[in-house]
Structure 1
Amino acid sequence: MIAFPLIERVSVHHYTLYPGRDGSGRLDLHLGAGPWLVLGVNGLGKSTLLLLLRYLLAGPVRTRSAGFAGERDDLQAVDNRFFAVRVAGGADHATAKIVVRFGARILTVERTLGTLALISASISDDKTSRTLEAEDEYRNLITKLMGVVQFEDVVRVLDHLVFYLEGRQSLIWDLAAQFELFRALLTPNLSANLRQLEGQIVSADSAARNLNATLYKITQRRDREASKRITADDTRARLAAAQGELDKHIKDELALTEQLEAADTLRGDYNLQRKRGEKLVDDAAQAYEKLKFEVLRQAFAGLEPTDQYLYLKLLSEQICIACNQPAPDAAAELQKRHDHGCCVVCGNARKFDDKVENIGDALKAKASEAFSLLERRRVELEDFQRQYVKANDTVHALHNKISAVRLASEERQGLIRKLRKNLPAEENLALSREEERIRTLRGEVLSFRHEREAAEQSIEDLLVQLSTAVEEVRERLECAFHQKAAPFFAESTRLVYAPRTAKIGQGGRSFDFPAFEVEMTSGATLGQFVRRTPDQVSLSQREYLDIIFRMVLLDVLGGGKGSLVIDGPEGSLDAVFAGRAGDLFARFSAAGQTNVVLACNIVEGGFIPHALSNYGKSDRPRRVINLLEQAMPTQALRTLRPLYFQKVTEILEREPG
């Protein structure tokens, strides 16, 4: 089971950026469920506080950028003096502690802020408690608590789902990040295997390309050296001719092999299109059959269900259920009456009251449209099938050509061995060494290609399981996204399952990777324009589509339990959408085991009142972490302190509207 962290308490000791209300050097936050606002002005440490939460849980590491990365490590170290350099004195005595809930279990983590080293971590529930101090043990512990199998996946979840900080690591707009998150959360038992196979494919592909480059250089050097040794001697001339023919055959084989790889990749792509086409035909056929049945059912709308069944059986199977004999003529007559708009039972023209709408015609129109779509899908499938057959023929033809070239190469090699026996021993030895090195390199190239192909076959099977797992929650994700996005956006917005097709290496096969996209329909231009990329939407739309997607994943995959931490949610909003954004966070955090931590400036407008709309005036100050009171004041705060405090009071007392 996947469990996301619910942040309940945070305490910071002796970090000079947060001296506390009484100057004791303690900042203690008790969060729990609901929305929490970290309020302050620029320079008070709002972003630093949210980053502190993240680094307390993950330590001084991050994951590499999303994408196919070969066999290099996923975890990368960051500067462990990250917080020390932000204050005078290097935070040598500063510590911080965070308490988070994973279901019924409570995790407490304490680190130094000078080096982010782990001081201790403890896990407890109603019955047991355990403490540990080693970083490796802590990483294993939080990995198990979250329900994933690798600590790298813990960091991915924190950076791409739980925390949306000033760096703004995207998720809905980063299809590669979606793939890595889905494999970690939906198929945790396969995540490590998928990552390992991905690394093997990228590394084998890169090694094969590098060896090919080296092989080319060595062959060119050998040819130059061989040309210097060739004399007018008839044996050397024949050897040179034979070697030239062999080199041509080898070059032809390499060229044909590259063509074969390209053709095989193209065949795989066409096969993928063919399978998609078959699914589209099946979907269209089902839709058409459903509408066709509805059209027929409307024709017998006045009959009892039993009588309807008798006539439908006769029409669809041309068998009389009464005598169980074929009745094609009777079925044809019924179909003729139905097609002419007559009553299929008596043959008389059907009459409708002016106030009664004949939905049969509408259904026929829909059935006609569905049939047209079905026909188009069938034509597309036939085209995909033709392309696949053509590509398959090309692959077989290239295999035959390669076999013929290899046979010719073997004949030339036999002749070369025979001629070399007549050369001086030292010259024959030098040439043999070069040939041996070339043969070794060619063998290594083929070995890497076979390794890549084997890994590709294995990863395809695992990707099918991952895609199945994503499709099992697809409808719930799309529905939840609509429920959250509809009240916020003025445009029609929907989440669409749109697997991306990509290659893992520069060569090789293409695969389908599960992914979601957003479709936003705008009426700003003539007609309806569908926007799907981040460049086609505004900054606030781009950010809040990503935020809503994270909310949906926390709800659906985490059972509505966990924290969402966002820096600057008010920054890109106008006056109208500020209130809508506040309502969005208020609704999301209304559940009993969910909270949002929002760091924002002291801003006018509806964002703060709407975010705290579930609380009365007397309760709102308790939902605010007011850094005006607890952080080291800036010069602006020292000068304008009364104005800032008055403004905070006014904002918290303002009713949403």
Structure 2
Amino acid sequence: MIAFPLIERVSVHHYALYPGRDGSGELELELGQGPWLVLGVNGLGKSTLLLLLRYLLAGPVRTRSAGFAGERDDLQAVNNRFFAVRVAGGAERATAKIVARFGAKTLTVERSLGTLALHHAHIADAATSRTLETEEDYRALITNLMGVAQFEDVVRVLDHLVFYLEGRQSLIWDLAAQFELFRALLTPTLSADLRRLEGEIVSADSAARNLNATLYKITQRRDRESNKRVTANDTRARIAAAQGELDKHVKDELALTEQLEAAEILRGDCNLQRKRSEKLVDDAAQAYEKLKFEVLRQAFAGVSPTDQYLYLKLLSERICIACNQAAPEAAAELQNRHDQGRCVVCGNPRKIDDNVESIGDALKSKASEAFQLLESRRAELEEFQGQYAKANEAVYALHKKVSNVRVAVEDKQGLIRRLRKNLPAEESLALSREEERIRTLRGEVLTFRQEREAAERAIEDLLAQLSAAVEQVREKLELAFLEQAAPFFAESVRLVYAPRTAKIGQGGRSFDFPAFEVEMTSGATLGQFVRRTPEQVSLSQREYLDIIFRMVLVDVLGAGAGSLAIDGPEGSLDAVFAGRAGDLFARFSATGQTNVLLACNIVEGGFIPHALSNYQRSDRPGRIINLLEQATPTQALKTLQPLYLEKVAEIIERDPG
């Protein structure tokens, strides 16, 4: 079971940026369900407070950028003095504590703000409790609490889902990040194997390419040295001739091997297209058969279900259920009556009301459209089958050529070895060493390619399982996205499951990776224009599509429990959409065990009133974390604080309108 952290309490002690209301050095925040607004002006530490929550949970680490990264580590250390350098004195005494709930269990984590070192972590539920002192034990604990397999996946979830901070790590617009998140959340038992095989593919592919480059340089050097010795005698001349022929065969082998690899990739792509087309044909055939059945059933309106079954059996299978004999003439007569609009049972012209007639015509029209689509899909399938057959033939032909040229290589190598026995010992030894090195490198290249192919075969099944897991929640995600996005956007917006096809290494096979994208229909042009990329939408649309996608994942995958922390949600909004954004956050955190922490400036407009619309005026101040009163004031704030406080009070009192 996946569980996202629901942040319930935060306290900061002796950190100079947050002296507290009375200057005691204590900042205590009690957080419950619903939206919470971290209000302040530039320089008061709004962003720092959200970053502090993130580092309390994750510690001083981050993950590498999303994408296929080979066998290097996913976790990277960050500056553990991140908070220390922001205040005088290096935050030597400063500590911070966070309390977060994961389902029925409550986690408390306390860290030093001077070094981000773990002081302790405490986990408790109704029956048990225990305290951990080491970072290693804590990482294992939070990994288990979240329901993922590796601590790296915990950090990915925090950075790509829970926290949407200044760096704006995208999710809906980053298909590689989606893959890594889905891998962590939907198939946690496979996550480590998927990551390991991905690393093996990238590393083997890279090693093969590097060795090929080295092999080329050595061969060139060998050729130059060989050319200097070729003038000595007839033996050297024959060796040189044989070596030239061998080099040609080797080059032919390399070229054919690359062609074979490309042909196998093309065959794999054609096979992928063929399989997709087969599924489309199956789907179209099922849709057509269903409509065809409905058309026939409409023809038997008024006939009892038992009699309908008898006639439909005769029509569909051409067998009389009474005598169990083939009855093609009777079936043809029934079909002819149906096609002519007569009663299928007696043959008389049908007398039915207009409504039934219109339903029948509509079903026939849909059935005709479904049949046309089925024929189109079958034509596409036939074309893809033809492409696959051609690709398959090309692969077999290249295999034969590669086999022949390898035989020729072995023959020439044997001839050269026999001729070298007639050369002086030292010259023969030097050439033999160079040839042996070339032979070894060629073998290593082949080995790495075989390792890559083996890893590709192994990862294919795991990716299929991941895709199946995403398919299981696909409809829920799409419906939840529509429910959240429809009240916010003026345009028609929907979430679409759109798997991407990509290679894990620079060479090798292509695979389907589960991914979602958004489709937004714009009315800005004479016709409707569908926008799918971040470059085609505005900054606010780009950010809020990402935010809504995160909300949907928390709601669907986390069973409606968890926190979102968002920095600067008001920054890109105009006057109208500020109110809609406030309603979005109010609606998201109104049900279930969710809350959202919004760090924003003191802004006019509807954002703050709408975000607090679920609360009475008297309760709204309790939803505000007012850094004007609890953070160290900037020089400008020392002069303008009364005006800012007055403006905060005025905004809180204002009702949405």
Tell me the equivalent position of 2:225.
225
- Structure 1 distance, partners of 2:77, 2:474, is 35
Partner of 2:318: 318
**1:249 partner amino acid:** H
2:329 corresponding residue in structure 1: 329
- TM-superposed CA distance for 1:313, in Å, is 1.5
1:552 aligned partner: 552
* Closer, same or farther: CA 356–382 of 1 in aligned 2, 3 Å: closer
- Aligned partners of 1:310 and 1:555: how far apart in 2? 49
Tell me how far apart the structure 2 counterparts of residues 371 and 352 of structure 1 sit (CA, whole Å): 26
Tell me which moved more, 509-518 or 297-306: 297-306
Deviation at 1:345, TM superposition (A): 2.4
Matches within 5 A, 1:264-343: 264-343=264-343
In structure 1, what is the equivalent of residue 54 of structure 2?
54
Q: Match of 1:655?
A: 655
Describe the superposition over 1:435-485 as per-residue Cα deviations: whole angstroms up to 9, x where unpaired: 010011111111111111111111111111111111111111111111111
Instruction: Report the AA paired with residue 152 of structure 2.
Output: E
**What is the CA–CA distance in structure 2 between the aligned matches of 1:380 and 1:354, rounded to whole Å?**
39
Task: Indicate the residue corresponding to 1:447 in structure 2.
Answer: 447
Shift of 1:323: 2.8
1:530, 1:365 → 2: CA distance?
A: 28
Q: Which residue of 1 aligns with 2:504?
A: 504
In the TM superposition, residue 568 of structure 1 has moved relative to its aligned partner by 1.0
| SS of residue in 2 equivalent to 1:358 | helix
Deviations 1:220-270 (A, max 9, x none): 111110111112511111111111111111110011001100110111011
Aligned position for 1:124: 124
Which residue number corresponds to residue 135 of structure 1?
Answer: 135
Partner of 2:406: 406
Partners of 1:324 and 1:401 in 2: CA distance:
58
Q: Secondary structure at the match of 1:306?
A: helix
Tell me whether 1:100 sits opposite 2:100 in the alignment. Answer: yes
TM superposition shift of 1:308 = 1.9
1:413-443 alpha-carbon deviations (Å, 9 max, x no partner): 2211221111111111111000010011111
The range that moved more, 350-359 or 31-40, is 350-359
Would you say the 8 A contact 1:554–1:560 is kept in 2?
Answer: yes
Q: In 1, distance between residues paired with 2:242 and 2:643?
A: 93
Report the more deviating stretch, 70-79 or 344-353.
344-353
- Paired with 1:189 and 1:342, the residues of 2 have a C-alpha distance of 61
Quote the offset at 1:307 in angstroms.
Answer: 2.2
- Alpha-carbon distance between aligned partners in 2 of 1:355 and 1:505, rounded to the nearest angstrom: 60
Q: Distance in 1 between matches of 2:615 and 2:258?
A: 67
Cα offset for 1:128? 2.1
**Alpha-carbon separation, structure 2, partners of 1:353 and 1:477:** 43
Q: After superposition, what is the alpha-carbon deviation per residue over 1:84-129, rounded to whole angstroms, capped at 9, x for unaligned?
A: 1222222122111111111111111111111111111111122222
Shift of 1:342: 2.2
| Residues in 1 aligned to 2:218 and 2:445: alpha-carbon distance in whole angstroms | 14
Q: Which shifted more, 318-327 or 51-60?
A: 318-327
**Residue type at the aligned position of 1:210:** N
- Maintained 8 Å contact 1:56/1:109: yes
One-letter amino acid of the structure 2 residue matched with residue 591 of structure 1: T
- Find the counterpart in structure 2 of residue 384 from structure 1: 384
Percent of counterpart pairs with the same letter? 85
Q: Does the Cα contact within 8 Å between 1:320 and 1:327 map onto a contact in 2? A: yes
Q: Distance in 1 between matches of 2:352 and 2:581?
A: 51
1:216 correspondence with 2:216: yes
Q: 2:465 maps to which residue?
A: 465
Specify the code of the residue in structure 1 equivalent to 2:620: R
Please give the residue correspondences for 1:358-369 in structure 2 after superposition, counting only pairs within 5 Å. Answer: 358-369=358-369
8 Å contact kept, 1:34–1:592: no
Alignment check: 8 A CA contact 1:352 1:358 kept: no
Corresponding residue of 2:597: 597
Could you tell me the TM-score, scaled by structure 1's length? Answer: 0.98
Aligned alpha-carbon RMSD (Å)? 1.3
Residue in structure 2 matched with residue 348 of structure 1 by the alignment: 348
Please report how far the alpha carbon of residue 352 of structure 1 lies from its aligned counterpart in structure 2 after TM superposition: 4.9
The equivalent of 1:36 in structure 2 is 36
More displaced 10-residue stretch of structure 1: 293-302 or 191-200: 293-302
- Structure 2: tracts of 5 or more residues without a match: none
Tell which deviates more after alignment, 353-362 or 210-219.
353-362
Q: Which amino acid aligns with 2:469?
A: A
Distance across 1 between alignment mates of 2:411 and 2:113 = 73
1:145 CA displacement = 0.9
Whether the 8 Å CA contact 1:201–1:505 is kept in 2: the answer is yes
Distance in 2 separating the partners of 1:383 and 1:543: 42
How far apart, in 1, do the equivalents of 2:96 and 2:32 lie? Answer: 18
The residue aligned with 2:261 is 261
Q: Which amino acid aligns with 1:623?
A: R
- Aligned ranges for residues 521-536 of structure 1 at < 5 Å? 521-536=521-536
Tell me the distance in 2 between the aligned counterparts of 1:633 and 1:15.
14
1:357 deviation in Å?
5.6
Matched with 2:204 is 204
Q: Secondary structure at the match of 2:617?
A: coil
| Aligned residue number for residue 5 of structure 2 | 5
* Aligned-partner Cα distance in 2 for 1:140–1:20: 34
- 1:487 Cα deviation from its structure 2 partner: 1.5
Q: Which residue of 1 aligns with 2:581?
A: 581
With structure 2 as the length reference, what TM-score do the two structures score? 0.98
Say which is worse superposed, 55-64 or 406-415, in terms of deviation: 406-415
- Residue 319 of structure 1 deviates from its aligned partner by 1.8
| Equivalence for 1:456 | 456
Rounded Cα–Cα distance in structure 1 between residues aligned with 2:599 and 2:14 = 22
- Corresponding residue number in structure 1 for 2:110: 110
Partner of 1:174: 174
Shift of 1:317: 1.2
1:544, 1:592 → 2: CA distance?
A: 21
Residue 633 of structure 1, CA deviation: 1.4
Shift of 1:304: 2.2
Greater shift in the superposed pair: 630-639 or 202-211: 630-639
1:244 corresponding residue in structure 2: 244
Query: Structure 1 592/381 Cα, relative in aligned 2: closer, same or farther at 3 Å?
Result: closer
What is the CA–CA distance in structure 2 between the aligned matches of 1:571 and 1:592, rounded to whole Å? Answer: 27
Encode CA deviations 1:490-516: one digit per residue, 9 max, x unaligned: 211111111111000000011111111
2:424 is aligned to 424
Distance in 2, matches of 1:215 and 1:461, equals 34
Q: How many angstroms apart in 1 are the aligned matches of 2:358 and 2:593? A: 52
Question: Which amino acid letter does the alignment assign opposite residue 98 of structure 2?
Answer: I
The 1-side partners of 2:592 and 2:279 are apart by 42
